[in-house]
Amino acid sequence: MKILIINPNSDHEMTGAIQKTADNFADGEFEALCISAPGAPEFIETYEDAVKAAPGMIQLVRENEDKYDAFIIACHCDPNLDVMKEITGKPVVGIGEASMKIASMLGHSFSVISSTYYSIPNKEALVRKYSLQEELASVKSPADNMKELSDKEKYLYTAKSAVEKDNAEVIVLGCAGMTGLDKLLQEELGVPVLDGVVCALILASGLSKYGVSTSKLRRYNAK
Amino acid sequence: MKILIINPNSDHEMTGAIQKTADNFADGEFEALCISAPGAPEFIETYEDAVKAAPGMIQLVRENEDKYDAFIIACHCDPNLDVMKEITGKPVVGIGEASMKIASMLGHSFSVISSTYYSIPNKEALVRKYSLQEELASVKSPADNMKELSDKEKYLYTAKSAVEKDNAEVIVLGCAGMTGLDKLLQEELGVPVLDGVVCALILASGLSKYGVSTSKLRRYNAK
Amino acid sequence: MKILIINPNSDHEMTGAIQKTADNFADGEFEALCISAPGAPEFIETYEDAVKAAPGMIQLVRENEDKYDAFIIACHCDPNLDVMKEITGKPVVGIGEASMKIASMLGHSFSVISSTYYSIPNKEALVRKYSLQEELASVKSPADNMKELSDKEKYLYTAKSAVEKDNAEVIVLGCAGMTGLDKLLQEELGVPVLDGVVCALILASGLSKYGVSTSKLRRYNAK
Amino acid sequence: MKILIINPNSDHEMTGAIQKTADNFADGEFEALCISAPGAPEFIETYEDAVKAAPGMIQLVRENEDKYDAFIIACHCDPNLDVMKEITGKPVVGIGEASMKIASMLGHSFSVISSTYYSIPNKEALVRKYSLQEELASVKSPADNMKELSDKEKYLYTAKSAVEKDNAEVIVLGCAGMTGLDKLLQEELGVPVLDGVVCALILASGLSKYGVSTSKLRRYNAK
Amino acid sequence: MKILIINPNSDHEMTGAIQKTADNFADGEFEALCISAPGAPEFIETYEDAVKAAPGMIQLVRENEDKYDAFIIACHCDPNLDVMKEITGKPVVGIGEASMKIASMLGHSFSVISSTYYSIPNKEALVRKYSLQEELASVKSPADNMKELSDKEKYLYTAKSAVEKDNAEVIVLGCAGMTGLDKLLQEELGVPVLDGVVCALILASGLSKYGVSTSKLRRYNAK
Amino acid sequence: MKILIINPNSDHEMTGAIQKTADNFADGEFEALCISAPGAPEFIETYEDAVKAAPGMIQLVRENEDKYDAFIIACHCDPNLDVMKEITGKPVVGIGEASMKIASMLGHSFSVISSTYYSIPNKEALVRKYSLQEELASVKSPADNMKELSDKEKYLYTAKSAVEKDNAEVIVLGCAGMTGLDKLLQEELGVPVLDGVVCALILASGLSKYGVSTSKLRRYNAK
């Protein structure tokens, strides 16, 4: 089984980190390759960044439909996920949808740790799209006074606050760039911490093995 | 006041019909120009069509930001509306959002008349996005046996069924291509029938005159 | 076009302030007259105040149905709005409904600034009636320690707190008595601030020009 | 204990029927008197009827606050219930709220049998006000072809259809005028059938005996 | 009329306190007996405790179906309420459902005072089950620094905080073990305070007197 | 990796069918054993059946916690799932939750095919528990006139009706007893058909491999 993980941005360091996470999880049982979408913007922070990433993402899926068994969109705001589900018969999994739906199975409520204050409403809009408001404790980004801290510390303290103040029982890492921090944080926090890349690999590999994919009846019919 | 109406598709007949509707409503009180987005697909039926329309829509807004006071997206599925709101400081109104929110003020519940069976779930997803599920009676498209009928008859019978079977108290024309049918249907049905283009003109001209626009605090901040 | 703005209370200063706001916005393009409902109570603070205002409001609409093209109810708790929509074929717009639905189009979430702590639950009940809970950041009234401040300062600080603590991206002035403060607050806060009187004028003038009004099918049928 | 049942309309036959139901249920354990509100309209079909009934209802509560232990509003659309809760320290129970909340405790979902097609949306709005949408199977009125039938037959067939087609597990009689039909219908249908007058008596007598009443903290504070 | 109150735990002191509350409320008008379920666990804190209590609860209902007119489950998390409603034709009332639904009739929003921090999510899950999220202000347990205080003080301060910080207009005692504290707290707080045992007695005695019980159509059909 | 699949009923044929499905899916990559809970009832049709199954299910988990890496509850109404999640540190997956949450990722809306008319409300209650109402098209059981048909035909026609009349884009097999029918139905219907056993295996094996499990913070803390 071969899974193509599409990084909608052009940050090679992030692509490398996702690849490492995927290799660790796949552990030789399946192949997973992470590549940047051609022409991708440096980051996916805005709606315009998502628009800019779309053509390259579509191209990647089209060119690789025969070579891969499933696709993963490795940005936690699930950019262009609907169009990805529409243009291919193979399973497509967004790391946002995968991680938040799995989080809803592991505890009473979850918090999403967001990298920036600006992306909080977009995450909240995503939570509404997936009808997960009842299970959401909060979407949280590091406080202003954490700027000097390391990523690990910054996200750890933010997650700690989500657990203690918002009663989050599960933590979702809200950016593909946080990949690899899950176990470090889980150990400190004592609650499950989910890396969207791994959650998406669980579902993408499982769906592919099962032989089910997106329904082509109406919403995701390419017409 | 000058309002730019962006037709996300390249159907010149539709652009012309929208222009006519706009001229009729503006009645000399403000200017409204409808143009197709450069590079637009023939129709907006799929998520991919929406992706293809995006670059031209962004270009139009960027090139015209100084020349126009407000922008309207004239496709009832409000394609790329979030990115449009993000990239400009001028008001941007989608004909889907405008018509459905106005519909919720005119009666207990409304039905959206959709041109095709395939677009029903996308409309339902839009209704959820705008939290209008409680006010929605149904989304309906013409039945298979109506194929031979004229557009007017097809949408009239579909709307009649929405009124009689789903108890819709207001009808929303669910496609910019239906522009101009509102008064014909309203006369026959005896309930308000809303053309999204007019609804968007009401709001776009009003917001511009008022001097308010999209909040740039977080969700629509271009960063 | 002539719009009658009904002030459900008997506060002449407020009637005057609303008239001034209406004149400023209308700017000669249409006529708008604000008058107090005959027999109106001094304030609309309680459900009983709303009951007391009803007969005069009904009388005003009945006596002026032929002379005006649309009616506005200029109290932010939209008292007796359902009966107003029922008894006339002309459009009726409540400043609460108009301002909150427009707010939902301008940002991720909005806060309503309420004049008193006691009216907060009534506003929340109104938000539920209009199914706007998902878009509501908060309903807020000035803190106890603000009693000595001017109205402008009081509502500015309250709105500032809504923006900073509740992440409101849009501010709705929650009382007709705040009319005229919108631009002052907007300038200080940097987010859209909506005066319900203006929002209702946008919709009432637009609906009248469009020739649509309340559906008489069932809910607002006078039988 | 003495309970005053306020019939918001002036239909003496209905007042008599409610009195009979109340006497049967009270069975000597408490006193219950049903009277029409002074100046009440003949029926409560429209929002305007509710407005017309309000002054007499308020007068009745004010004049009888010291003489009675609790008040019941005996019209299933709960007209003016908020203002009634506001103006007295004694418990006030609406037959709509009481019957629908009790219905939600007796089965998976309930249907409300409405006397006319026109009142269906008003009932649905009431269901939303009480957040009972999840428990509602349907609101149903007799079909057009039932006009010649007796009340009992008409409502029985309507309720039967609610049970069989909408899967209602509990039936709520949606008009005080149906009082007395509960046991007849229950016997035929085999599911619980609730008379709002009895449901309100259960709660009004219970609350009075318990010594709790409407909270005066904010929403129902008379200021 | 005879009502059997089932205490799902084996705490005799609690059984005695419930009996006292029941005797006070019944006041000779009906008989109410509280007994522990045979084989009941010491407390109902966990899902496993609820499972352990089930066989004894079922046995009690089965053995007493002919002797009692209604049953009450006297634990505020309503353990095994669905199965109780299923196995008997007599009314069964949970003190959680009864108190929270009555609370929703007495004010804009209510808070549930929970004995421990651990039971908060279970209460929230119960609130969702009964679709009462819109009416919930908060679920609150005593803060850590209250451990030394008496029960009365602990719950009073917690309820006070719910009123002042969460704007609760009604307080629900969230554990049968708090029975008897209602009037003490109500006097101090000035808002209605509900003891679930009394609320359940109001409904159980009322339903029994009325002659209605759980619908056996589908959800609670014993098959 | 070893996964224990607990069949809460004592139907050996069903246990065998589940084992076969598990073996087919596991395909040698992990071990999966399906066994009946000791003392299990013949079917899980009622709430009492679920209660009866609980002690054996708890015993199985306790006895096997060290020997297995994850547990699956193989009854589509997810009986006793909360207590299972509470008593073990290993992942526990219900086939109802797994299949319905995966279904929500594969199409606009899903229908659950239920074996009997009586279990429909229980399924609907489960859908509410998991906040999946927005994604639910319908819960459907075979019509009365299908009694003579084979299981395959019965469920195929029911699913066909869900697709054609309720616009379901994904079908969920609503009983472990339907295991093995997924591919047969999928081929005929042209939409994804999900077997809960496989969906649960995807998640249970994935979670175990990932090293995350139920949060023990509050809701599922065994205290």
For residue E199, pLDDT over 90 is answered with yes
Cα F118 to Cα C70, D111, F142: the distances in Å are: 53, 18, 11
Nearest to B219 among A51, A121, A222 (CB): A121
Distance from CA of B9 to the nearest CA of D (A): 38
Angle formed at CA A128 by CA B8 and CA D132, multiple of 5 degrees: 120
Distance, in Å, from the CA atom of D115 to the CA atom of D176, rounded to the nearest integer, reads 10
Please identify which residue in the block is written with the tokens 């025969």: A66
SS3 string, A71-94, reads: EEECCCCCCCHHHHHHHCCCCEEE
Q: Give the chain A residue nearest E123 (alpha carbons).
A: A108
For residue E147, pLDDT over 90 is answered with no
Residues F106/F192, Cβ–Cβ less than 8 Å? yes
Residues (pLDDT < 70) of chain C are none
For residue F223, pLDDT over 90 is answered with no
Q: What's the pLDDT at E223?
A: 80
Condensed to tens digits (0 to 9), the pLDDT of residues D23-35 reads 999 999 999 999 9
Distance, in Å, from the CA atom of E165 to the CA atom of D2, rounded to the nearest integer, reads 37
Residues D3/D201, Cβ–Cβ less than 8 Å? yes
A–F: how many Cβ contacts below 8 A? 129
Q: What's the pLDDT at F128?
A: 98
Q: What's the pLDDT at C182?
A: 98
Residues D5/D64, Cβ–Cβ less than 8 Å? no
Residues (pLDDT < 70) of chain D are none
Distance, in Å, from the CA atom of A152 to the CA atom of E14, rounded to the nearest integer, reads 49
Contact F150/A at CB under 8 A: no
Cα A97 to Cα A132, A155, B130, D18, F85: the distances in Å are: 10, 20, 20, 55, 22
Domain E97-196 has CATH 2.60.40.4070: no
Condensed to tens digits (0 to 9), the pLDDT of residues E152-173 reads 999 999 999 999 999 999 999 9
- Residue E52: pLDDT band by 50, 70, 90 thresholds? very high
Contact F134/B at CB under 8 A: yes
Distance, in Å, from the CA atom of A154 to the CA atom of A140, rounded to the nearest integer, reads 11
Q: What's the pLDDT at E213?
A: 98
Q: What's the pLDDT at D207?
A: 98
Distance from CA of A41 to the nearest CA of F (A): 27
Q: What's the pLDDT at E23?
A: 98
- Residue A107: pLDDT band by 50, 70, 90 thresholds? very high
Distance from CA of B101 to the nearest CA of C (A): 7
Distance from CA of E28 to the nearest CA of F (A): 35
What is the DSSP secondary-structure string of A35-85? EEPTT--S---SHHHHHHHHHHHHHHHHHHTTT-SEEEE-STT-TTHHHHH
Which long-range contacts (C-beta less than 8 Å, at least 24 apart) are formed by D88-91? D88/D61, D88/D62, D88/D214, D89/D65, D89/D213, D89/D214, D89/D216, D90/D65, D90/D208, D90/D213, D91/D203, D91/D204, D91/D207, D91/D208, D91/D212, D91/D213, D91/D214
Distance, in Å, from the CA atom of D60 to the CA atom of D58, rounded to the nearest integer, reads 5
Interface test mutation site (partner A, options B119, B131, B217, B218, max chain A beta carbons within 10 A)? B218
Kindly provide the ipTM of the predicted complex, given to two decimals.
Answer: 0.98
pTM of the model: 0.97
Distance, in Å, from the CA atom of E132 to the CA atom of E144, rounded to the nearest integer, reads 28
Distance, in Å, from the CA atom of E94 to the CA atom of E200, rounded to the nearest integer, reads 6
Compute the average pLDDT of residues F101-109. 98
- Strand pairing category for E193-195 and E136-140: unpaired
Chain C, residues 44-103, CB within 8 A of chain D, namely: 45-48, 50-51, 54-55, 58, 80, 82-83, 86-87
Cα C193 to Cα B206, C95, C164, F113: the distances in Å are: 15, 14, 15, 50
Nearest to E121 among F47, F48, F218 (CB): F218
Residues of E in contact with F47 (CB under 8 A): 82-83, 86, 220
Q: Which helix (H) or strand (E) holds A32?
A: strand A31-36
Interface test mutation site (partner F, options E44, E46, E57, max chain F beta carbons within 10 A)? E46
Residues A196/A124, Cβ–Cβ less than 8 Å? no
How many other C-beta atoms lie within 10 A of the C-beta of residue A174?
A: 30
Its sign, for the CA torsion D144, D145, D149, D155, is negative
Which residues are A4's β-sheet partners? A33, A71
Of residues F137, F176, F154, the one with CA closest to residue F14: F176
Q: What's the pLDDT at A223?
A: 80
Cα A192 to Cα E70, F208, F215: the distances in Å are: 44, 12, 6
Residues B72/B201, Cβ–Cβ less than 8 Å? yes
Q: Is C188 exposed, middle or buried (0-12, 13-18, 19+ CB in 10 A)?
A: middle
Q: Is D12 exposed, middle or buried (0-12, 13-18, 19+ CB in 10 A)?
A: exposed
Contact F167/B at CB under 8 A: yes
Q: What's the pLDDT at B47?
A: 97
Contact B124/F at CB under 8 A: yes
Q: What's the pLDDT at B101?
A: 98
State the helix-helix crossing angle for C12-26 and C196-210, rounded to 10 degrees: 50
Helices (H), ranges, chain B: 12-26, 47-64, 81-87, 95-106, 120-129, 151-165, 182-189, 196-210
Distance, in Å, from the CA atom of D170 to the CA atom of E215, rounded to the nearest integer, reads 6
Domain B97-195 has CATH 3.20.20.10: no
Its sign, for the CA torsion F171, F173, F179, F185, is negative
Which residues are C110's β-sheet partners? C136, C170
Condensed to tens digits (0 to 9), the pLDDT of residues C25-70 reads 999 999 999 999 999 999 999 999 999 999 999 999 999 999 999 9
- Residue B147: pLDDT band by 50, 70, 90 thresholds? confident
Residues of chain C with CATH 3.40.50.12500: 2-94+198-210, 97-196
CATH domain B2-94+198-210 topology: Rossmann fold (3.40.50)
Distance from CA of C32 to the nearest CA of A (A): 38
Residues D109/D170, Cβ–Cβ less than 8 Å? yes
Condensed to tens digits (0 to 9), the pLDDT of residues E95-129 reads 999 999 999 999 999 999 999 999 999 999 999 99
* Backbone phi and psi for residue F28, each to the nearest 5 degrees, phi listed first: 80, -5
Its sign, for the CA torsion F19, F25, F28, F29, is negative
- Strand pairing category for C2-7 and C31-36: parallel
Distance, in Å, from the CA atom of F127 to the CA atom of C68, rounded to the nearest integer, reads 50
The tokens for C131 are 């199914």
Return the DSSP state at B80.
Answer: T
Contact E121/A at CB under 8 A: yes
Distance of CA A33 to the CA centre of its chain: 15
Residues of chain F with CATH 3.40.50.12500: 2-94+198-210, 97-195
* Conformational region of residue E4, where left means phi above 0, alpha means psi within -120 to 50, and beta covers everything else: beta
Q: Is F83 close to E51, i.e. CB distance below 8 A? A: yes
Please identify which residue in the block is written with the tokens 């490795």: A74
Its sign, for the CA torsion B149, B153, B157, B162, is positive
Q: What's the pLDDT at E40?
A: 93
Residues of C in contact with E108 (CB under 8 A): 121, 124-125
| Neighbouring residues of F51: CB distance < 8 A, sequence distance ≥ 6 | E51, E54, E55, E58, E80, E83
Q: Give the chain F residue nearest D168 (alpha carbons).
A: F121
- Residue F184: pLDDT band by 50, 70, 90 thresholds? very high
Q: Sheet containing E2-7: which strands, arranged edge to edge?
A: E31-36, E2-7, E70-73, E92-94
Cα D53 to Cα D9, D42, D88, D127: the distances in Å are: 7, 10, 17, 22
Compute the average pLDDT of residues B97-115. 98
